[in-house]
A and B are shown apart, each in its own frame.
Chain A
């Protein structure tokens, strides 16, 4: 038995649009720098994401005040040198709550999409590769979830399961996985008829090996682009459910629930609604810019010279 020869697909189908050799040669850091140099917006996106990822990891530790414990004597104090972002209706430091809230808002969004991705990739890959009845059954199941308006479905699931950040995460996972299943299925359907897959199959590779080693790696690029864009929307959706009282419950410093708490006093305390709102906006903008930038970077037709 001869060793299975490596089959190289078309260069533009590799992750980040790089040839495998080029990717190996350049390394992730060089690729990142190259991506950042493509456009000032890419740099901005990376900067924003780095900031919020930093807050996810260290926000709670570095917060200058306790983000949970009320100090009602200090309620609704305007921004000052002690409380840079002012205080909320219970006298808690808004800056500390925004910093600590990153792990709830962004962290939960990342967890949601990670789970949705795993489910979506498995379902989509199986449906696309197996075809026939399996494809029909799995896709009709996917259609079932896609048939409802996303946020309404999430609200219904969250309301049925009880109001908490965990149930909101489950609800949002339920609305995101079908999109990945659809996306991956389409990619698998296109790839499974390509010559390099045929070649692998002709050389005796098992279906599992063909799927895992030859097809799925080539679906990564569009999935990553979709994922980066979805992170922003997932952060918004998580905040939306919390705003409606279906997600994080008090006193969790989740940005959406902070905005919900602030809306009753927004005319007297502009800072209370503004700063969590700003954090939410910057996170969403950061991930959307990253998604757009990646799409352009991956596509050789839109890839530009570094600025």
Chain B
């Protein structure tokens, strides 16, 4: 038995609570120190599920005042920092549009969090608490009609120009007026940005609402859209045909974020270096390198070999294997994401869409393809989103019903339909083939079309007419902020077709639009839930827009020595680069 010094007990206690010690180490040391069985058990409980080798399957977090030290930190709070200051992240496809006020693309938004900034960001795992980003302080009046933001006084853009209140206002005017991609994030609250955004002084600006807006702060923390771009760069690169310099921003990055782009190869890699004039505390990593790795197998291999340090795009089969790898940590979290198959509104009538919804292999997909990383859902609203209505029934596979509805819709045996999904996505491919097999049983031919991800995005968010689009297109979505209106508006509202949102299959239902207008101004949770229920019923049963097959549970895989990563159900697949660091091993 070891000599009993108080610091041994303290070290054991802190080590167990911080997750620095494995369960075996806690057990061994506890026994050596002569601790009682209940005491050791309580320490083991504090130790969590960590196994030999130091892999912590639960999210890590940065140490804060008053907390126990995070893994890799000493009892005094000092971190054991690694000398390796590169963080390599793998993406599953290229990023064709780098304009943060236009791109409605998850991988683009993950990149943007390295180099652009919102005014505020969601704090930790919360979807309604915030932390400073470009704004150091914020406040609102009692009736939620005026929101004041106090900016970092020394903020600069990567092009060296100051990021003052005028620049922020100019950026939001661009966001609102350009009317691309996620612009609903601002247009819901600000219709006239020149009037509604007031510059008080160089570091203060006020957003004035026309009615109480309880969701405005949540919207400002969205990683889609309200990111601040350099007005000087816009002025310099705008043209008569492109007054907002969208074409230029689609290929260049000038923000205020902690990292500055030094290499941009949209289909290959992005390299960011620490921005020397960043207004806040410098981040740990010197460089963020985002590599485009299309193949699932290659991403897994790169993670396992240590060449890639983080990836949010790992298929469920691989995740199950990687969870047993002590060199990696698999951080699982519930999300607001619902995955669906868009159905072409112009090519398929309501009965046909209902019929196809019955033909989807729901149970097989959730159990055998998603392997537990998804659960049944009754529409586009996840049960983690405000407005979710559990009373809406959920589709189950019924091929007889499907055939009956398809026949009533005018579809005959032998008719052929097209289904498009991204190349290299094993999960999508498996689901598509199961759907294809179900349809084959009722005499319908489904032609599968694999296209690369960039082409799929260009088609989905482009302006080609619905007649030139496939009958089905694989998709998934989560709200820009925790709100049912925001989840549905860009995807299904008639104002969001083509490049104005993500209504890629041109869904247009007047009753849906009318109820959405009511939902937009709903103030109580009860009213939101009631209206959301009515709307979801239209989208799933009366006039289906898509086959809603699963609410997704996500997992991000990191090297075991990465710390400070906290998943967020809204910032899905993204990384809080400014909080992350690497522990010395």
Interface residues of A (CB under 8 A from B): 68-70, 72-73, 75, 89-90, 162-163, 245, 249-251, 261, 263-268
Contacts and interface: CB of A to CB of B under 8 A. Distances in A.
B28 interface: no
A128 to B, nearest CB: 42
B44 interface: no
Given A249-B448, A249-B449, A263-B297, 9 more contacts: A72-B368, A72-B434, A90-B433, A245-B423, A245-B450, A249-B450, A250-B429, A264-B296, A264-B297
Contacts of B297: 263-266
A261 B321 CA distance: 18
Contact of B437 (A70, A245, A267): A70
Contact of B364 (A72, A162, A249): A72
19 contacts: A69-B440, A70-B433, A72-B364, A72-B368, A75-B368, A89-B317, A90-B433, A90-B434, A162-B449, A163-B450, A249-B447, A250-B429, A250-B448, A251-B433, A261-B426, A264-B315, A264-B426, A265-B426, A267-B321
Contacts of B343: none
Contacts of A90: 430, 433-434
Nearest to B427: A264
Nearest to B363: A72
Contacts of A250: 429, 432-433, 436, 448, 450
B286 interface: no
B295 interface: yes
A251 B437 contact: yes
A267 B305 CA distance: 14
Nearest to B437: A70
Binding site secondary structure of chain A: loop
Nearest to B424: A245
Interface string B403-423: 000000000000000000001
Nearest to B301: A267
Interface in B353-378: 364, 368-369
A262 B451 CA distance: 18
The listed residue with most B CB atoms (<10 A of its CB), out of A69, A72, A162, A263, is: A72
Contact of B434 (A70, A261, A263, A266): A70
A43 to B, nearest CB: 39
Nearest to B449: A163
A268 B321 contact: yes
Interface string B307-350: 00000000101100100000000000000000000000000000
Contacts of B447: 249
Contacts of B432: 250
Contacts of B423: 245
Contacts of A245: 423-424, 450
Kindly list the 8 A-B residue pairs having the minimum CB-CB distance in the complex, ordered from nearest. Answer: A264-B426, A72-B368, A245-B450, A245-B423, A264-B296, A264-B297, A70-B437, A249-B448
Interface in B268-306: 295-297
Contacts of B450: 163, 245, 249-250
Interface in B513-540: none
A90 B317 CA distance: 13
A160 to B, nearest CB: 13
Contacts of B369: 72
The listed residue with most B CB atoms (<10 A of its CB), out of A68, A250, A251, A264, is: A264
Nearest to B368: A72
B437 A68 contact: yes
Interface in B426-462: 426, 429-430, 432-434, 436-437, 440, 447-451
A89 B437 contact: no
A302 B364 CA distance: 61
B434 A268 contact: no
A251 B424 CA distance: 15
A263 B294 CA distance: 13
Given A163-B449, A264-B297, A89 B436 contact: no
Contacts of A268: 317, 321
Contacts of B449: 162-163, 249
B452 to A, nearest CB: 8
Contacts of A266: 297
B433 to A, nearest CB: 5
A263 B295 contact: yes
Nearest to B423: A245
A89 B321 contact: no
A89 B368 CA distance: 9
Contacts of B424: 245
Nearest to B361: A72
A242 to B, nearest CB: 11
A261 B432 CA distance: 13
Contact of A89 (B318, B430, B448): B430
A9 to B, nearest CB: 52
The listed residue with most B CB atoms (<10 A of its CB), out of A69, A89, A250, is: A250
Interface in B250-279: none
Contacts of A163: 449-451
A250 B321 CA distance: 26
Contacts of B315: 264
A104 B450 CA distance: 19
B133 to A, nearest CB: 37
A288 B484 CA distance: 62
A69 B364 CA distance: 14
B367 to A, nearest CB: 8
A268 B369 CA distance: 15
Contacts of B433: 70, 90, 250-251
The listed residue with most B CB atoms (<10 A of its CB), out of A69, A89, A261, A266, is: A89
Nearest to B438: A70
A89 B429 CA distance: 10
Contacts of B440: 68-69
Contacts of B318: 264
A251 B430 contact: no
Contacts of A70: 433-434, 437
Contacts of B317: 89, 264-265, 268
A47 B440 CA distance: 37
B316 to A, nearest CB: 11
A73 B315 CA distance: 18
A156 to B, nearest CB: 14
B311 to A, nearest CB: 14
A73 B363 CA distance: 11
A16 to B, nearest CB: 44
A239 to B, nearest CB: 16
Nearest to A74: B368
